[in-house]
Structure 1
Amino acid sequence: MTPTNWPDPAREGYPLFSGNNGKHTLIDKNTGHEINAEWNSADDEWLMPDSWLSAKNTAKHFAYLRCDTVELTRAQIAEMLAAERERCAVALDRLKNKESEMYGVGLMTARAEITIRAFASGAEAIRNLGAAP
Structure 2
Amino acid sequence: MTTLTNWPDLKRPGWPPNPERDGLYALYVGGALMARHWSAVRQFYTSVPGWPRGMSPFEASAFDFAGEILTPTQITEMLAAERERCLAAFHEHGERAKLGWNGSSSDEEKQYWRGALNTFQECCDEIRNLGDTP
Normalised by the length of structure 1, the TM-score is 0.49
- Name the TM-score, length of structure 2 as normaliser: 0.48
Larger Rg: 2
